[in-house]
Structure 1
Amino acid sequence: MGTPDIRDTPEEWRVTATETPFTGNKTGVRTDEVVMPDGSTARRDYQTHPGSVAVLALDERDRVLLLRQYRHPVRQKLWEIPAGLLDVPGENPLHAAQRELYEEAHVKAEDWRVLTDVYTSPGGCDEAVRIFLAREISAVEGERFEVSEEEADMELARVPLAELVRGVLAGDLHNNCLVVGVLALTAVRASGGPETLRPAGAPWPARPFS
Protein backbone atom coordinates (compact mmCIF):
# COMPACT_ATOMS: atom_id res chain seq x y z
CA MET A 1 0.00 0.00 0.00
CA GLY A 2 1.41 3.38 -1.04
CA THR A 3 1.59 6.48 1.10
CA PRO A 4 -1.63 8.51 0.81
CA ASP A 5 -1.62 12.15 -0.25
CA ILE A 6 -1.60 13.85 3.15
CA ARG A 7 -3.48 17.06 2.50
CA ASP A 8 -7.04 18.19 3.19
CA THR A 9 -9.29 18.28 0.13
CA PRO A 10 -12.65 19.96 -0.61
CA GLU A 11 -15.70 17.69 -0.46
CA GLU A 12 -19.37 18.36 0.19
CA TRP A 13 -21.96 15.70 1.01
CA ARG A 14 -25.48 16.37 -0.18
CA VAL A 15 -27.70 18.43 2.13
CA THR A 16 -31.43 17.77 1.85
CA ALA A 17 -32.66 20.38 4.35
CA THR A 18 -31.27 23.30 6.36
CA GLU A 19 -32.56 25.20 9.39
CA THR A 20 -31.14 28.21 11.20
CA PRO A 21 -32.47 28.03 14.76
CA PHE A 22 -30.31 30.92 15.97
CA THR A 23 -28.63 33.93 14.37
CA GLY A 24 -26.52 36.17 16.56
CA ASN A 25 -24.63 39.40 15.97
CA LYS A 26 -21.60 37.69 14.43
CA THR A 27 -22.23 33.95 14.61
CA GLY A 28 -25.18 31.59 14.34
CA VAL A 29 -26.30 27.97 14.56
CA ARG A 30 -27.27 25.86 11.56
CA THR A 31 -28.81 22.40 11.36
CA ASP A 32 -28.27 20.40 8.14
CA GLU A 33 -29.78 17.08 7.06
CA VAL A 34 -26.77 15.39 5.46
CA VAL A 35 -26.83 12.28 3.26
CA MET A 36 -24.32 9.70 4.56
CA PRO A 37 -22.30 7.36 2.29
CA ASP A 38 -24.75 4.49 2.96
CA GLY A 39 -27.70 6.60 1.82
CA SER A 40 -29.07 7.38 5.28
CA THR A 41 -29.41 10.94 6.55
CA ALA A 42 -28.13 12.51 9.77
CA ARG A 43 -28.66 15.87 11.43
CA ARG A 44 -25.56 17.96 11.98
CA ASP A 45 -25.72 21.05 14.23
CA TYR A 46 -22.86 23.52 14.00
CA GLN A 47 -21.91 27.10 14.66
CA THR A 48 -21.51 29.38 11.66
CA HIS A 49 -18.64 31.84 11.89
CA PRO A 50 -17.26 34.58 9.60
CA GLY A 51 -13.65 33.55 10.16
CA SER A 52 -10.79 35.11 12.10
CA VAL A 53 -7.21 36.26 11.89
CA ALA A 54 -4.49 36.12 14.54
CA VAL A 55 -1.02 37.62 14.74
CA LEU A 56 2.10 36.16 16.32
CA ALA A 57 4.10 39.39 16.60
CA LEU A 58 7.78 38.84 17.37
CA ASP A 59 10.10 41.60 18.57
CA GLU A 60 13.87 41.99 18.15
CA ARG A 61 14.50 40.15 21.44
CA ASP A 62 12.56 37.06 20.30
CA ARG A 63 9.61 37.92 22.51
CA VAL A 64 5.99 37.37 21.49
CA LEU A 65 3.43 40.11 22.06
CA LEU A 66 0.61 38.78 24.26
CA LEU A 67 -2.73 39.97 25.59
CA ARG A 68 -4.47 38.69 28.72
CA GLN A 69 -8.23 38.76 28.40
CA TYR A 70 -11.27 37.37 30.19
CA ARG A 71 -13.14 34.71 28.21
CA HIS A 72 -16.56 34.12 29.69
CA PRO A 73 -17.43 30.71 28.11
CA VAL A 74 -14.42 29.06 29.80
CA ARG A 75 -14.45 31.32 32.91
CA GLN A 76 -10.75 32.11 32.63
CA LYS A 77 -8.39 34.93 31.84
CA LEU A 78 -6.33 33.63 28.94
CA TRP A 79 -3.03 34.76 27.52
CA GLU A 80 -3.57 35.19 23.78
CA ILE A 81 -1.99 36.65 20.67
CA PRO A 82 -3.83 39.56 18.98
CA ALA A 83 -6.80 38.29 16.97
CA GLY A 84 -10.15 39.35 15.60
CA LEU A 85 -13.08 38.54 13.36
CA LEU A 86 -13.26 38.99 9.61
CA ASP A 87 -16.11 41.46 10.00
CA VAL A 88 -16.46 42.31 6.31
CA PRO A 89 -17.27 39.48 3.83
CA GLY A 90 -14.35 39.02 1.45
CA GLU A 91 -12.07 41.23 3.54
CA ASN A 92 -8.35 40.82 2.89
CA PRO A 93 -7.10 38.86 5.92
CA LEU A 94 -3.77 40.70 5.99
CA HIS A 95 -5.57 44.04 6.29
CA ALA A 96 -7.72 42.62 9.10
CA ALA A 97 -4.62 41.31 10.92
CA GLN A 98 -2.85 44.66 10.63
CA ARG A 99 -5.95 46.37 12.03
CA GLU A 100 -6.16 43.98 15.00
CA LEU A 101 -2.48 44.40 15.83
CA TYR A 102 -2.96 48.17 15.85
CA GLU A 103 -6.23 48.20 17.79
CA GLU A 104 -5.28 45.66 20.44
CA ALA A 105 -1.57 46.39 20.91
CA HIS A 106 -0.92 49.77 19.24
CA VAL A 107 1.81 48.12 17.19
CA LYS A 108 2.67 47.84 13.49
CA ALA A 109 4.98 45.41 11.67
CA GLU A 110 7.09 45.66 8.52
CA ASP A 111 7.45 41.94 7.71
CA TRP A 112 4.34 39.76 7.37
CA ARG A 113 4.03 36.08 6.44
CA VAL A 114 1.37 33.39 6.73
CA LEU A 115 2.35 31.13 9.62
CA THR A 116 -0.49 28.62 9.27
CA ASP A 117 -4.23 28.18 8.58
CA VAL A 118 -6.48 26.17 10.89
CA TYR A 119 -10.10 25.21 11.54
CA THR A 120 -10.64 25.76 15.26
CA SER A 121 -13.26 23.05 15.84
CA PRO A 122 -14.34 21.46 12.53
CA GLY A 123 -16.65 18.96 14.19
CA GLY A 124 -18.93 21.69 15.47
CA CYS A 125 -17.99 25.03 13.93
CA ASP A 126 -16.98 26.29 10.48
CA GLU A 127 -14.58 28.92 11.85
CA ALA A 128 -11.35 29.23 9.86
CA VAL A 129 -8.38 31.15 11.26
CA ARG A 130 -5.32 32.45 9.44
CA ILE A 131 -2.37 33.00 11.78
CA PHE A 132 0.25 35.48 10.61
CA LEU A 133 3.85 35.89 11.69
CA ALA A 134 4.65 39.62 12.07
CA ARG A 135 8.23 40.80 12.54
CA GLU A 136 10.10 44.10 12.70
CA ILE A 137 7.45 45.52 15.00
CA SER A 138 7.28 49.05 16.40
CA ALA A 139 4.85 51.24 18.27
CA VAL A 140 2.25 53.19 16.31
CA GLU A 141 2.38 56.97 16.65
CA GLY A 142 -0.58 58.87 18.06
CA GLU A 143 -3.34 57.99 20.52
CA ARG A 144 -4.27 54.41 21.28
CA PHE A 145 -7.45 52.89 19.85
CA GLU A 146 -10.29 53.13 22.38
CA VAL A 147 -11.31 49.68 23.68
CA SER A 148 -14.43 48.53 25.56
CA GLU A 149 -16.08 45.51 27.25
CA GLU A 150 -13.59 42.65 27.93
CA GLU A 151 -10.85 44.51 26.07
CA ALA A 152 -11.02 47.38 28.57
CA ASP A 153 -9.50 45.05 31.18
CA MET A 154 -6.82 43.69 28.84
CA GLU A 155 -3.18 43.33 29.92
CA LEU A 156 -0.19 43.44 27.56
CA ALA A 157 3.10 41.56 27.87
CA ARG A 158 6.07 40.46 25.81
CA VAL A 159 7.24 36.93 26.60
CA PRO A 160 10.19 34.94 25.16
CA LEU A 161 9.09 32.34 22.61
CA ALA A 162 10.92 29.54 24.44
CA GLU A 163 9.04 30.34 27.65
CA LEU A 164 5.72 30.13 25.81
CA VAL A 165 6.59 26.73 24.36
CA ARG A 166 7.29 25.46 27.86
CA GLY A 167 3.98 26.91 29.07
CA VAL A 168 2.04 25.25 26.26
CA LEU A 169 3.57 21.82 26.91
CA ALA A 170 3.06 22.20 30.66
CA GLY A 171 -0.67 22.83 30.16
CA ASP A 172 -0.47 26.40 31.46
CA LEU A 173 -1.55 28.10 28.21
CA HIS A 174 -4.72 27.14 26.35
CA ASN A 175 -5.68 29.70 23.70
CA ASN A 176 -5.70 27.81 20.40
CA CYS A 177 -4.11 30.54 18.27
CA LEU A 178 -1.34 31.04 20.83
CA VAL A 179 -0.68 27.29 21.09
CA VAL A 180 -0.71 26.70 17.33
CA GLY A 181 1.29 29.85 16.63
CA VAL A 182 4.20 29.28 19.00
CA LEU A 183 4.52 25.59 18.12
CA ALA A 184 4.30 26.33 14.39
CA LEU A 185 7.02 28.97 14.61
CA THR A 186 9.23 26.59 16.60
CA ALA A 187 8.75 23.93 13.90
CA VAL A 188 9.48 26.45 11.13
CA ARG A 189 12.76 27.42 12.74
CA ALA A 190 13.78 23.77 12.84
CA SER A 191 13.02 23.24 9.15
CA GLY A 192 14.16 26.10 6.96
CA GLY A 193 13.29 29.28 8.82
CA PRO A 194 10.55 31.91 8.46
CA GLU A 195 11.70 32.84 4.94
CA THR A 196 10.19 29.54 3.75
CA LEU A 197 6.69 30.55 4.90
CA ARG A 198 3.98 31.56 2.45
CA PRO A 199 3.72 35.26 1.58
CA ALA A 200 1.19 37.35 3.50
CA GLY A 201 -1.15 37.51 0.50
CA ALA A 202 -1.22 33.74 -0.16
CA PRO A 203 -4.61 32.33 -1.26
CA TRP A 204 -6.92 31.09 1.50
CA PRO A 205 -9.62 28.81 0.04
CA ALA A 206 -11.46 28.60 3.37
CA ARG A 207 -12.13 32.36 3.25
CA PRO A 208 -11.53 33.64 -0.30
CA PHE A 209 -10.64 37.31 -0.66
CA SER A 210 -9.91 39.68 -3.50
Structure 2
Amino acid sequence: MTQVRNLEEKTIASETIFEGRVVRLQIDRVELPDGGTSTREIVKHPGAVSVLAVTEENKLVMVRQFRKPLEKTILEIPAGKLEAGENPADCAMRELEEETGYRAEKIEHVVSFYTSPGFADEYLHIYRANGLSKGEARLDQDEFVELVELTLDECLERIAAGEICDAKTVAAVYLWQNQVLRGRSV
Protein backbone atom coordinates (compact mmCIF):
# COMPACT_ATOMS: atom_id res chain seq x y z
CA MET A 1 0.00 0.00 0.00
CA THR A 2 1.32 3.45 -0.95
CA GLN A 3 1.67 5.94 1.85
CA VAL A 4 0.15 9.35 1.12
CA ARG A 5 2.61 12.17 1.71
CA ASN A 6 1.40 15.45 3.17
CA LEU A 7 2.03 18.04 0.47
CA GLU A 8 0.27 20.97 2.15
CA GLU A 9 2.03 24.25 2.81
CA LYS A 10 1.19 26.14 6.02
CA THR A 11 0.92 29.92 5.71
CA ILE A 12 3.19 31.63 8.24
CA ALA A 13 2.55 35.22 7.12
CA SER A 14 0.67 36.99 4.34
CA GLU A 15 1.17 40.53 3.04
CA THR A 16 -1.02 42.31 0.50
CA ILE A 17 1.25 44.34 -1.75
CA PHE A 18 -1.35 45.57 -4.26
CA GLU A 19 -5.14 45.84 -4.32
CA GLY A 20 -6.82 46.89 -7.56
CA ARG A 21 -10.29 46.83 -9.10
CA VAL A 22 -9.90 43.29 -10.43
CA VAL A 23 -7.11 41.55 -8.50
CA ARG A 24 -5.18 41.62 -5.26
CA LEU A 25 -1.54 40.54 -5.13
CA GLN A 26 -0.19 39.02 -1.95
CA ILE A 27 3.07 37.46 -0.84
CA ASP A 28 2.72 34.49 1.50
CA ARG A 29 5.55 33.06 3.56
CA VAL A 30 4.93 29.32 3.87
CA GLU A 31 6.26 26.33 5.74
CA LEU A 32 6.98 23.53 3.29
CA PRO A 33 6.12 19.86 3.87
CA ASP A 34 9.79 19.13 4.72
CA GLY A 35 9.88 21.91 7.37
CA GLY A 36 11.70 24.47 5.21
CA THR A 37 10.23 27.84 4.27
CA SER A 38 9.58 29.68 1.04
CA THR A 39 7.48 32.51 -0.40
CA ARG A 40 4.53 32.37 -2.77
CA GLU A 41 3.29 35.22 -4.98
CA ILE A 42 -0.49 34.87 -5.19
CA VAL A 43 -3.06 36.69 -7.33
CA LYS A 44 -6.48 36.76 -5.63
CA HIS A 45 -9.40 37.09 -8.08
CA PRO A 46 -13.18 37.15 -7.44
CA GLY A 47 -13.88 34.58 -10.16
CA ALA A 48 -15.37 34.89 -13.61
CA VAL A 49 -17.83 33.43 -16.09
CA SER A 50 -17.79 32.83 -19.82
CA VAL A 51 -20.55 31.93 -22.23
CA LEU A 52 -20.66 29.34 -25.01
CA ALA A 53 -23.43 30.74 -27.22
CA VAL A 54 -24.15 29.18 -30.62
CA THR A 55 -26.65 30.86 -32.96
CA GLU A 56 -29.38 29.14 -34.99
CA GLU A 57 -26.98 29.49 -37.95
CA ASN A 58 -24.56 27.27 -35.98
CA LYS A 59 -22.03 30.03 -35.31
CA LEU A 60 -20.22 30.73 -32.06
CA VAL A 61 -20.88 34.21 -30.67
CA MET A 62 -17.53 35.83 -29.87
CA VAL A 63 -15.92 39.19 -29.29
CA ARG A 64 -12.69 40.52 -30.69
CA GLN A 65 -10.84 42.76 -28.27
CA PHE A 66 -7.40 44.12 -27.47
CA ARG A 67 -5.80 42.50 -24.41
CA LYS A 68 -3.13 44.73 -22.90
CA PRO A 69 -1.20 41.96 -21.09
CA LEU A 70 -0.73 40.24 -24.47
CA GLU A 71 -0.31 43.48 -26.46
CA LYS A 72 -2.59 42.08 -29.16
CA THR A 73 -6.19 41.67 -30.24
CA ILE A 74 -7.71 38.22 -29.78
CA LEU A 75 -11.04 36.44 -30.26
CA GLU A 76 -12.84 35.29 -27.11
CA ILE A 77 -16.19 34.04 -25.99
CA PRO A 78 -18.12 36.60 -23.91
CA ALA A 79 -16.86 36.66 -20.35
CA GLY A 80 -16.61 38.79 -17.25
CA LYS A 81 -15.72 39.09 -13.61
CA LEU A 82 -18.13 38.08 -10.88
CA GLU A 83 -19.34 40.92 -8.67
CA ALA A 84 -19.32 40.36 -4.90
CA GLY A 85 -22.04 37.82 -4.02
CA GLU A 86 -23.22 37.52 -7.63
CA ASN A 87 -24.65 34.22 -8.83
CA PRO A 88 -22.45 32.92 -11.69
CA ALA A 89 -25.46 32.07 -13.90
CA ASP A 90 -26.82 35.61 -13.49
CA CYS A 91 -23.37 37.00 -14.31
CA ALA A 92 -23.22 34.85 -17.46
CA MET A 93 -26.60 36.17 -18.66
CA ARG A 94 -25.50 39.75 -17.91
CA GLU A 95 -22.13 39.46 -19.66
CA LEU A 96 -23.62 37.81 -22.76
CA GLU A 97 -26.08 40.65 -23.21
CA GLU A 98 -23.69 43.47 -22.27
CA GLU A 99 -20.91 42.35 -24.62
CA THR A 100 -22.88 40.96 -27.56
CA GLY A 101 -26.49 42.11 -27.31
CA TYR A 102 -27.66 38.50 -27.35
CA ARG A 103 -30.12 37.28 -24.72
CA ALA A 104 -30.60 33.65 -23.77
CA GLU A 105 -33.87 31.98 -22.79
CA LYS A 106 -31.91 29.51 -20.71
CA ILE A 107 -28.37 29.24 -19.41
CA GLU A 108 -26.81 25.95 -18.35
CA HIS A 109 -23.59 25.26 -16.43
CA VAL A 110 -21.04 23.26 -18.43
CA VAL A 111 -17.81 23.21 -16.42
CA SER A 112 -15.79 25.22 -13.88
CA PHE A 113 -12.03 25.26 -13.40
CA TYR A 114 -9.09 27.16 -11.95
CA THR A 115 -7.41 29.15 -14.71
CA SER A 116 -3.83 29.31 -13.40
CA PRO A 117 -3.51 27.51 -10.04
CA GLY A 118 0.25 27.98 -9.89
CA PHE A 119 -0.16 31.64 -8.97
CA ALA A 120 -3.86 32.63 -8.99
CA ASP A 121 -7.10 31.51 -7.34
CA GLU A 122 -9.38 32.59 -10.23
CA TYR A 123 -12.22 30.10 -10.65
CA LEU A 124 -13.95 30.33 -14.04
CA HIS A 125 -17.39 28.97 -14.95
CA ILE A 126 -18.38 28.16 -18.54
CA TYR A 127 -22.10 28.33 -19.29
CA ARG A 128 -23.97 27.29 -22.41
CA ALA A 129 -26.62 29.76 -23.63
CA ASN A 130 -29.74 28.37 -25.29
CA GLY A 131 -32.60 30.11 -27.11
CA LEU A 132 -30.67 33.15 -28.32
CA SER A 133 -32.33 36.36 -29.44
CA LYS A 134 -30.48 39.40 -30.77
CA GLY A 135 -30.57 42.76 -29.01
CA GLU A 136 -28.26 45.70 -28.35
CA ALA A 137 -24.89 45.42 -26.61
CA ARG A 138 -24.32 47.60 -23.52
CA LEU A 139 -20.56 47.79 -23.12
CA ASP A 140 -18.82 49.21 -20.06
CA GLN A 141 -17.35 52.69 -20.56
CA ASP A 142 -13.80 51.34 -20.90
CA GLU A 143 -14.74 48.28 -22.96
CA PHE A 144 -14.26 48.18 -26.73
CA VAL A 145 -15.20 44.97 -28.53
CA GLU A 146 -16.30 43.83 -31.97
CA LEU A 147 -18.97 41.13 -32.31
CA VAL A 148 -17.78 38.13 -34.36
CA GLU A 149 -19.67 34.94 -35.24
CA LEU A 150 -17.71 31.93 -36.50
CA THR A 151 -18.50 28.36 -37.53
CA LEU A 152 -16.82 25.50 -35.71
CA ASP A 153 -14.36 24.98 -38.58
CA GLU A 154 -13.50 28.70 -38.56
CA CYS A 155 -12.91 28.54 -34.79
CA LEU A 156 -10.59 25.56 -35.17
CA GLU A 157 -8.67 27.41 -37.89
CA ARG A 158 -8.37 30.49 -35.64
CA ILE A 159 -7.03 28.30 -32.80
CA ALA A 160 -4.38 26.89 -35.15
CA ALA A 161 -3.47 30.43 -36.27
CA GLY A 162 -3.18 31.68 -32.68
CA GLU A 163 -6.01 34.21 -32.98
CA ILE A 164 -8.06 32.22 -30.47
CA CYS A 165 -5.51 31.68 -27.75
CA ASP A 166 -7.05 32.05 -24.30
CA ALA A 167 -7.84 28.97 -22.23
CA LYS A 168 -11.56 29.57 -21.70
CA THR A 169 -12.26 30.05 -25.40
CA VAL A 170 -10.10 27.13 -26.54
CA ALA A 171 -11.86 24.93 -23.95
CA ALA A 172 -15.28 26.16 -25.09
CA VAL A 173 -14.52 25.48 -28.77
CA TYR A 174 -13.39 21.94 -27.98
CA LEU A 175 -16.45 21.39 -25.79
CA TRP A 176 -18.58 22.52 -28.74
CA GLN A 177 -16.66 20.24 -31.12
CA ASN A 178 -17.16 17.31 -28.74
CA GLN A 179 -20.90 17.95 -28.65
CA VAL A 180 -21.05 18.14 -32.47
CA LEU A 181 -19.09 14.90 -32.81
CA ARG A 182 -21.46 13.19 -30.39
CA GLY A 183 -24.44 14.44 -32.39
CA ARG A 184 -25.75 16.67 -29.62
CA SER A 185 -26.73 20.30 -29.91
CA VAL A 186 -24.84 22.87 -27.90
TM-score (norm 1): 0.78
Conserved 8 A contact 1:167-1:173: yes
Query: 1:163 and 1:71 mapped to 2: Cα distance?
Result: 21
- 3-state DSSP class of the match of 2:69? helix
Q: In the TM superposition, what is the alpha-carbon distance from 1:135 to its structure 2 partner?
A: 2.1
| 1:62 corresponds to | 58
Amino acid corresponding to residue 76 of structure 2 in structure 1: E
| 2:159 corresponds to | 168
Conserved 8 A contact 1:106-1:144: yes
What pairs with 1:92-107 in structure 2 (closer than 5 Å)?
Answer: 92-107=87-102
Q: Which stretch of structure 1 is more off in the superposition, 180-189 or 26-35?
A: 180-189
Query: 2:117 and 2:179 mapped to 1: Cα distance?
Result: 24
Q: In the TM superposition, what is the alpha-carbon distance from 1:56 to its structure 2 partner?
A: 1.1
Change (3 A) 1:137 1:23: same
| 2:4 corresponds to | none
| 1:134 corresponds to | 129
Query: CA-atom RMSD, angstroms?
Result: 2.3
Query: 2:139 and 2:163 mapped to 1: Cα distance?
Result: 30
What stretches of structure 1 of length at least 5 have no aligned partner? 2-10, 196-210
Change (3 A) 1:12 1:72: same
Conserved 8 A contact 1:115-1:185: no
Query: 2:110 and 2:179 mapped to 1: Cα distance?
Result: 9
Query: 1:112 and 1:26 mapped to 2: Cα distance?
Result: 25
Q: In the TM superposition, what is the alpha-carbon distance from 1:111 to its structure 2 partner?
A: 3.1
Query: 2:9 and 2:112 mapped to 1: Cα distance?
Result: 23
Q: In the TM superposition, what is the alpha-carbon distance from 1:193 to its structure 2 partner?
A: 3.6
What pairs with 1:26-175 in structure 2 (closer than 5 Å)?
Answer: 26-88=22-84, 90-140=85-135, 144-149=137-142, 151-152=143-144, 154-175=145-166
TM-score (norm 2): 0.88
Matched residue pairs, number? 182
Post-superposition Cα deviations, 1:82-112, rounded to whole Å, max 9, x if no partner, equal 1110022x31100001000111111111232
Amino acid corresponding to residue 131 of structure 1 in structure 2: I
Query: 2:8 and 2:105 mapped to 1: Cα distance?
Result: 39
| 1:13 corresponds to | 9
Query: 1:34 and 1:61 mapped to 2: Cα distance?
Result: 53
Query: 2:137 and 2:126 mapped to 1: Cα distance?
Result: 23
Query: 1:42 and 1:184 mapped to 2: Cα distance?
Result: 38
Change (3 A) 1:135 1:23: same
Change (3 A) 1:162 1:15: same
